[in-house]
Structures are given as structure tokens and as C-alpha cells.
Amino acid sequence: MSDNTGDSGAHRDGGQDQGSPSAATGRRGAGAVLWSIYDRLETVLTLVALSATILTVLIAAVGRTAGMPVRSAPQLALLFLIWAIILGADICLKKGEHIRVSVIADSVPSVIRRILAALHLLLIVPFLVFLAWYGFDLAAGNWQRQLGATGLSYGLITLALPVGSLLFLVSIARRFFSYGLDATLEPQDHHLESPL
């Protein structure tokens, strides 16, 4: 009679070995769900900011035409537009869809392309860290300043700089760990890429 009480007892209790492949898959699955929620939330916020920009410009135009100008509408439109641009830029970065000059990179061997990608990241990442670090100071310094007739803080506009920088850093890190160094700044689908 063999003794089956080894570590299989944990599995009979409903427990799962933390090192098992199914546990690792579960953690990856939970991470994918969280990133999916994060991506959806960012897309919704971008659409809300863009819609709010259009709506405030429309209200300003109608009010001016009717002889009842809405004094706060231009500043609100500016606020929403800046946030729509920052969030939209991050969505583009996540997909590698920013405008890029690829003539040189596409014509050199893969080793040189890899060096160029590393050089780009060595320039971009410290710059984004710099913007995030000093951007929060800028936003805090502008928090008492008023955004025109809105009554809101001007810091809401300057806050877009550090928040955007942090979002860009997260997107670059995600692409780096998902696709590797070579494809960090490359588009996901080269077939959709169109030359200017």
C-alpha cells in the first residue's frame, strides 16, 4: 500500500499550489483583465474629454450667436481638449501608432535597428521622468491660480503634463515587456501603417 498523503493533500482540500502552471495562468489572466479595464477606462475618459470639448465649443458658439456669450466656455474647452490630447496620445503610444520616420530604421540591419530602439528609449524615458517629476511641482504651483471665469484651478491644466508622462511611461513599459526592445515603439500592425 502506497502512501498518497504527500503534497497531493493540498489539492484534495481545494487549495492550489502557488507554483503550478494553472496558478501562474490565473495570475496572468487577472493581470490581463486589470489591463483591459485600465485600457477601457482610458478610452472612455478620452471620449468624454473629446465630447466635452465639442460640446463646450458648441455652447460658446450658440451663446455668442444668441447674444448671451458663455464666458467660461473657451477655458473649459481648452481644459477638455488638453486632456483629450494627452489621453489620446497615450492610446496611440500603446498601439505604436505615433508618427515616426522609419526610412533609416527600415534600411539598416536588425542589430543597428536594435541599437536605435535602445537609443530612442534612453532619450524618451529620462525625459518623461523629468516631465513627471517637475510637472507635479508645476501643477502644485498653479493650483491657486484660477482658470478664467470657470472658477476651477489652472492646476487642472498643468496636471495633464505629469499625468500624461506617467501614462506614457506605463505604456512604454507594457510594450517593452510584451513585445521586446525592437518593437517597443513600432506599430502593432505594419500593414496598417501608411507613409506620409
11 lies in some domain: no
141 lies in some domain: yes
State the residue range of the domain holding 164: 35-179
Residue 2: CA atoms inside 13 Å, Cβ hemisphere, count? 2
15 vs 65, higher pLDDT: 65
**Pick from 42, 31, 79: nearest CA to 168:** 42
Q: How far apart are CA 164 and CA 86, in angstroms?
A: 6
10 lies in some domain: no
For the cut 90, the answer to whether the pLDDT of residue 17 exceeds it is no
18 lies in some domain: no
**Pick from 108, 94, 106: nearest CA to 174:** 94
Please compute the mean of the pLDDT values over residues 94-102 and round it to a whole number: 78
Say what the pLDDT of residue 194 is: 57
Beta bridge partners of 81: none
Q: What is the pLDDT of residues 21-68, one digit of tens each?
A: 455 555 667 888 999 999 999 999 999 999 999 999 999 999 888 888
109 lies in some domain: yes
132 lies in some domain: yes
Say what the pLDDT of residue 16 is: 47
Q: How many domains does the chain have?
A: 1
25 lies in some domain: no
For the cut 60, the answer to whether the pLDDT of residue 156 exceeds it is yes
Query: What is the band of 196 on the pLDDT scale with cuts at 50, 70, 90?
Result: low
